[in-house]
Structure 1
Amino acid sequence: MAAILALSLSAATGGALAAPVSDPPRPLPSGAELTVRPGDRVTISTSATVDADTRNGVRVVSGAFATAGTLRREDRLVTAIMTVACTAASGPYEVRFRSPVGEENPSGIDRLWGSVRVAPADETERVECARRVSELPLESQEEHWPGDAPWPQTPWDVRTVRAGGTITATDNSHMAGDGEVKLSSPAFTQSVVMRGSKKVDAAVRIRCEVQPGVYTVHWNEKGKPAKEWARYRVTEAAPGCQDPAIAPQAGAARKATPWLVGSVAALSVMGGAGYVLLRRRRKASH
């Protein structure tokens, strides 16, 4: 009876009782040695504020891993997930921290974190390992920084905002000046110009009808090609959400003022000249 009930539950849930595609990553604490098998996933998690060796973007390398991992921000921590290569020979391997991509130099980061010991595996296990690893999804590049940190800290600093809500974008690198950069994104109600004296920022509003998902922000600077600058996640709008009427930015209004003043002045002059001409014609007719 129990077997029949188990089969019924499995059918009703569409195979929910089946074994997962892969086991959860196994944690590797600092200074420890972890015994693993080909295809196992290993995770490292540590405080992001201890020292410069444990910051966002630092690579995690080992001869046992299929590819290097990357420490990515998870609130107050940084976390990386790596997969043990299916071809890794049995034996011990060091796990080290290295400088982020683009920062490699002779005085860069080279810190021993711990080690893994790969258990012996026969050819059948390695073939099965290759099949399982090929089915794994790509590791997410998203970072999740604390809410009190200006957004974005990096192009993958994904913050969450509700459709119809607002989020402030800040240039933390101080690469742009007042009015030099326009931000655009499919979910914005309109493109916005970044403004400020010491650093530039812009408050952007998300359209109410935008579908939930992750969207990209493009950085458009005068005289330079556009680039992907930030990402954000949109959740469903509140009931009754309505987009406000689009108003020109203050900068645009300031730029339009001289034209408007000039146009009014020109119309005034034309109106005055027409009045004088009309009076002359009336006098001549009398």
Structure 2
Amino acid sequence: MPLPSGGHSVPMPEHDRLSERDFGRIAELIGEHVGIKLPPTKRLMVEGRLRKRVRGLGHQSLADYCHFLFDGQGLASEWVHVIDAVTTNKTDFFREPTHFEALEEQVVPALLARHHGPEPRLKLWSAACSNGAEVYTIAMVMAEIAARRTLRFSVLGTDISTEVLEHAARAIYPQAMVEPVPSALRQRYLMQGSSPSRRNEVRIVPELRRMVRFGRLNLMEPRYAIDRDVDVIFLRNVLIYFERATQEAVVSRLVDHLRPGGFLFLGHSESMIGSNLNLRQVAPAVFQKS
């Protein structure tokens, strides 16, 4: 969900630029409803992102599109596409790999010690899942653990962008993107494309896809329609794009969905956010609820 740190845009004709007023209105909406700040330095980036949508709808210019949004009652139907256009979803398989080592070696054993019954079930949630790489990484780690002992698990992935959620549900990725996946796990959980057009792509195996589900969620909402007995929540490298008050509000809401003894994973650059709440740090950027 975060915005990129920069990028290069092809200069556009002056008549096909966002006016200061239109950019301000878009930035205000994104800030209020998504929590991400769009400073003036992002104006060229936003223009470039919206032009594809402008062409797709048949508008003549960005000015026409903004007139449709703000003066022609188009915002209600177009809002989700505006969000998709101006937010970027950057993630990788096994990103910050020490977190997945902690999940396997510390977190899951601690959770299983608390769960009673012959077949414990763990719920894991990637709260800003982007294209699904983090969700399927979690699922691979959990499937490896489940192969060694009796255990059921499910992984939920949520994001504000409908476009990346569709990508995540398809579970098809470029070959280069899965290079961080250990070779043994690639053999077990990835299928190589067989047709000429798919030779450089892989897909997550059906057995693993059945362990995950995806849904749309805006972290700025005051309440989340999510179970309140989640064992593990991942929210990494997203909070850095929010203002401090928003960061703490989002983390507080997430913690409300953790069962006692549950764990929250933040990005390594975000660990101070978790330190300000009633959480016990158990590993770098990994916190446990009392």
TM-score by length of 2: 0.23
Higher helix share: 2
Higher strand share: 1
Name which structure has the greater RCO, CA cutoff 8 Å, separation 6+: 2
Higher gyration radius (CA): 1
